[in-house]
Structure 1
């Protein structure tokens, strides 16, 4: 087996560092080995090193300008770096090279859908359908963006294939189809069949999960123990002493935290209408780079390692994070990191960024739990695809947030989706005041803009602020498990 085949196999198996070693070995033999360069770029992307991946892919397309997959990879990096115009050009270049590539057409449809460019979305979707009318991802995309809205003969053919026990569908294809049919049945008010397909999709996803929420409970306990009130008070005192020495950074991060499907994307879209605020989207840096940095500096994992960080080390980690954010938005004064799971890192955020703004957004527990259950998340996590696990995770989330409210009440601004929807101007005025910013009327006019939204809310938010999405679980009440009805 050749080195490049070995390296590609390791990358596919998520053995990132081993793959990187082989790619680098190949590049010492030939610095222009396009396959090794491409692989190294994919390694950088997998490690969330967006600028290095961009630089590598840029070199790739210079060396092999007629290879459409290289342009698709470049487009990925551009999107991660929030360079959407350049991403579009890279996608169109890939399309120009090979117009009948299903992968390229899918990428274009998704990109234009996320950018709210509906005419272009339809153009490439029509081209895609003409080439691959029986492609499962094409059909599911049509359902998701509300082009396919009825159970017609074409849809029935997919349903028959899905229900055929001898089908050759992959697990991922089955999941996509179950979510698609759940949406179609829901639109026709056939809630029994819709619930069946939601359940089947989730049960298939659970098969990909290797742990449970119960396995995480020790971590949550350690988190609360590590960031005790005594430790937090110590951090506050140190920061008060060093206040005159440490300059306020030019870039202030705003962390929007909470559970997924709580309204974080809605809030983000409102805030980035403000002239002083940009967004970097959902970033993995705190749980990735910074957590890795803590281990390297202290030889202890997060959160235990936090107690062993020196003031200098904390400053170094903060600068590393802010440098990454500056790359994404060089001219921003405030920049949003809206990774919901950063609620777990509020103590760390206080340690590293005393000037940061933390916004905790919540939503009625049954509404948010149902929304999680009925949406298809990319990550295979138990609290995304099992109602009992969603309920258990919510209890841990509540416990952790309750702890932060006790030890850092002044550091967190709390807002609910319901109050934001009911009184948007009043809610945003209070929030912006917390950020030391003044209210701007344009924050309420975010719909129908060609902004890129790459979350599950991309389609929903195009119609603006919606006040009628509460209690969408009610038609399913008779099918819901006991644990759901115990949520309060």
Structure 2
């Protein structure tokens, strides 16, 4: 086969994409798609490569063309749905997944993806139907079991515990399958009030993934040390990009960042852009580092030589076309707390909000969450004490940012937000220089899709159900509490 022919280019591009050699993949797939612009698969996978390279605007343009070329191919539609999701075009993703499930009703992957898009849009009843259909086709679809368990509060009359226990023997040695099966059981036992069993299943499931990924806290320790070294003194005003548009909402995951995003994006002047990796991608590219992950000590050291204005400009441009239709937008990537120093320099008019939550609830909520085993950001979450050590790093870094970025970061206490809703909402809007709007008190009416682990909870009015969850696991968290206390973290508040 001639490698310069479209088919040869396509095959080479797909191989490069599988190996994450993105520049090579983009070159080959672009050539293939340009040579045969009516070929659906070439367009679909060129869009995939563009999304993987965080070129969202280009990816959306190509995906929209591809959607018109592939209306009857469920696999291509499914790929398009994934690309749209990565580009935060959730309504288009839902349409692609819905069509894929309609075209291939016996395909469990299509049914599962359709279910997740329904959850994002708030159609929980139909999502439950789709998940049950997925599991009827593939009883060992462990992610579907975990998702189904989290859709609602389980009761003694209606739960999936017996089904899950009967299937546990089929998990085998596959760590990710084990995690999702045991996390599902943990959630259901917690709902039934059996916290000892809930915790045991959580530990069992998470342990399997920790062993597989070989996580060590040393990597995250090195990143925090490098950040503190890079910003040793209070930062002077910088000539960064002048945009007032971005509002960064950050903090440890599962500490209220989605809640704040929903409150702010209920304001008519604010768009919810989702959890964008754009800032980290821009920093890594402009630093010239050749790092396997977006943030590393090498990236941090090299970033000192870049233009702050250029970094801000590249970031703002990368958020288009989704942003720009409203005066402000929320970037809600929790781990942007790692980038707070760079954000402050590159975007001196951006607003920054950091969520804080009771230390034990923060650690427990991260440990309870089945984060992806491939994520470079959540390796700590597969072990409870690693999660505690990561909390100590987070607390140390936030104390440093407060010192070197005085007045730039509004720290919002989750418990205070929940118990004093209006006063806290006014504080948020004041910090963002937004006029008061009553809709922000009724964030549960916000119809925008929510793609985070909190997508079910944020459609209910403000509640206190998640507060002090740690007290239900007080015995199991004894060692964690000792670790945090010895590091100077107050766990008695």
Q: TM-score if structure 2 supplies the norm length? A: 0.86
Counterpart Cα distance in 2 of 1:314 and 1:91: 40
Counterpart Cα distance in 2 of 1:440 and 1:103: 41
Counterpart Cα distance in 2 of 1:148 and 1:53: 40
Counterpart Cα distance in 2 of 1:14 and 1:148: 40
Counterpart Cα distance in 2 of 1:476 and 1:147: 18
Judging changes above 3 Å, is the alpha-carbon distance between structure 1 residues 129 and 206 closer, same or farther for their aligned structure 2 residues?
closer
- In terms of mean alpha carbon deviation, does 39-48 or 116-125 score higher? 116-125
Counterpart Cα distance in 1 of 2:141 and 2:289: 46
Partner of 1:409: 406
Decide whether the 8 Å contact of 1:132 with 1:138 is kept in 2: no
Deviation at 1:459? 1.5
Partner of 2:349: 355
Partner of 1:229: 233
Judging changes above 3 Å, is the alpha-carbon distance between structure 1 residues 24 and 481 closer, same or farther for their aligned structure 2 residues?
farther
Decide whether the 8 Å contact of 1:175 with 1:205 is kept in 2: yes
Partner of 1:63: 69
Decide whether the 8 Å contact of 2:354 with 2:410 is kept in 1: yes
TM alignment of 1:308-327, pairs within 5 A: 308-309=305-306, 313-327=307-321
Deviation at 1:268? 0.8
Tell me the number of residue pairs that the alignment of Structure 1 and Structure 2 aligns: 470
Counterpart Cα distance in 2 of 1:147 and 1:130: 22
Residue 423 (structure 1) aligned to one of 420, 424, 436 = 420
Partner of 1:371: 365
Partner of 1:220: 224
TM alignment of 1:271-310, pairs within 5 A: 271-295=264-288, 301-309=298-306
Partner of 2:82: 76
SS in structure 2 at match of 1:328: coil
Deviation at 1:302? 3.0
- In terms of mean alpha carbon deviation, does 320-329 or 385-394 score higher? 320-329
Partner of 1:101: 107
Residue 435 (structure 2) aligned to one of 430, 433, 438 = 438
Judging changes above 3 Å, is the alpha-carbon distance between structure 1 residues 109 and 448 closer, same or farther for their aligned structure 2 residues?
farther
Partner of 1:171: 175
Gaps of 5+ in 2: 2-6, 291-296, 485-489
Deviation at 1:22? 4.4
Partner of 2:392: 395
Partner of 1:140: 146
- In terms of mean alpha carbon deviation, does 335-344 or 432-441 score higher? 432-441
Counterpart Cα distance in 2 of 1:211 and 1:127: 36
Q: CA RMSD of the aligned region, Å? A: 2.9
- In terms of mean alpha carbon deviation, does 398-407 or 442-451 score higher? 442-451
Residue 345 (structure 1) aligned to one of 334, 339, 342 = 339
Deviation at 1:115? 1.2
Residue 191 (structure 1) aligned to one of 184, 192, 195 = 195
SS in structure 2 at match of 1:345: helix
Judging changes above 3 Å, is the alpha-carbon distance between structure 1 residues 6 and 336 closer, same or farther for their aligned structure 2 residues?
same
Counterpart Cα distance in 2 of 1:153 and 1:441: 38
Counterpart Cα distance in 1 of 2:23 and 2:395: 36
Partner of 2:487: none
Counterpart Cα distance in 2 of 1:350 and 1:130: 50
Gaps of 5+ in 1: none
Judging changes above 3 Å, is the alpha-carbon distance between structure 1 residues 119 and 186 closer, same or farther for their aligned structure 2 residues?
closer
Partner of 1:91: 97
Residue 330 (structure 2) aligned to one of 327, 336, 340 = 336
Deviation at 1:219? 2.2
Counterpart Cα distance in 2 of 1:321 and 1:387: 35
Counterpart Cα distance in 2 of 1:114 and 1:204: 29
Counterpart Cα distance in 2 of 1:154 and 1:307: 53
Decide whether the 8 Å contact of 1:137 with 1:176 is kept in 2: yes
Deviation at 1:468? 3.4
Partner of 2:4: none
SS in structure 2 at match of 1:99: coil
- In terms of mean alpha carbon deviation, does 361-370 or 147-156 score higher? 147-156
